[in-house]
Amino acid sequence: MEVLKADLILKFYQKLYRHFGPQHWWPGETPFEVMVGAILTQNTAWKNVERAIENLKRENALSPEEINKMNIEKLAQLIKPSGFYNLKAKRLKSFIERFMEDFNGDIQGMKKLEKRSLREWLLSIPGIGRETADSIILYAIEKPIFVVDAYTRRILSRHGFIKGDEDYDEIQEIFHKNLPVDTGLYNEYHALIVRLGKEYCRKKNPLCETCPLREFLT
């Protein structure tokens, strides 16, 4: 795999930022809401997650204490708009149970953990993979870690920098090695990649001729 040079990684970011502007991502009123959203957004569009979160808010249930004491059947119904709701209810419950047990539902306790230890803790919870864990670390806990998703993989692959089947951590390391360690930068860059993937670098019928990164195509 070719290693992206720092100036090219930064050029990608600068080009996207000039084209789209700041994305104000992740949408969420509190760090806890962001964590819930990160779990619910697996395999679904964000608009569906918003509907699920609104259901929780209407029930005054968007708190670790309320979700922890709620029976799983009711939780599944509330988050039904997010899809795979029975599975996601189990995953959300597993996360909340560990969050209450290990941190008493206090996000400040999570923030005290060193980034690597926090990632290991999150990955030990059933149903939380690397993308979800890193989204929580970056967007809710505000520690600098780059989130890799399908859009990231697709964009780098189409620009000839990866084959497309590389391991998650291998792709993540490209960004960690070639960017300053900066939470705000990682936040904005990932959000811009998502925007590019949705609007231009689509899975089918990509708009390469008008893409902001067209000059970098090989």
Report pLDDT digits (tens) over 61-76: 999 999 999 999 999 9
Q: Would you say residue 1 lies in a domain?
A: no
* Predicted local confidence at residue 130, as pLDDT: 98
Q: What is the CATH number of the domain that holds 189?
A: 1.10.1670.10
Domain hosting 103: range is 31-140
* Least confident window among 54-58, 66-70, 84-88, 157-161: 157-161
Assess contact for 19 and 193: CB atoms under 8 A. Answer: no
Mean pLDDT score, 34-43: 96
Does residue 2 surpass a pLDDT of 90? no
Tokens encoding 132? 């979800």
Mean pLDDT score, 165-182: 94
* Predicted local confidence at residue 218, as pLDDT: 64
Mean residue pLDDT across the chain: 94
The proportion of the chain whose per-residue pLDDT surpasses 70, expressed as a percent, equals 97
Does residue 124 surpass a pLDDT of 90? yes
pLDDT digits (tens, 9 = 90+) for 132-173: 999 999 999 999 999 999 999 999 999 888 887 899 999 999
CA 150 to chain centre: 11
| Whether residue 153 sits in one domain with residue 131 | no
pLDDT digits (tens, 9 = 90+) for 14-23: 999 999 999 9
Q: What is the CATH number of the domain that holds 67?
A: 1.10.340.30
- 3-state SS of the chain? CCCCCHHHHHHHHHHHHHHHCCCCCCCCCCHHHHHHHHHHCCCCCHHHHHHHHHHHHHCCCCCHHHHHHCCHHHHHHHCHHHCCHHHHHHHHHHHHHHHHHHHCCCHHHHHCCCHHHHHHHHHCCCCCCHHHHHHHHHHHCCCCCCCCCHHHHHHHHHCCCCCCCCCHHHHHHHHHHHCCCCHHHHHHHHHHHHHHHHHCCCCCCCCHHHCCCHHHCC
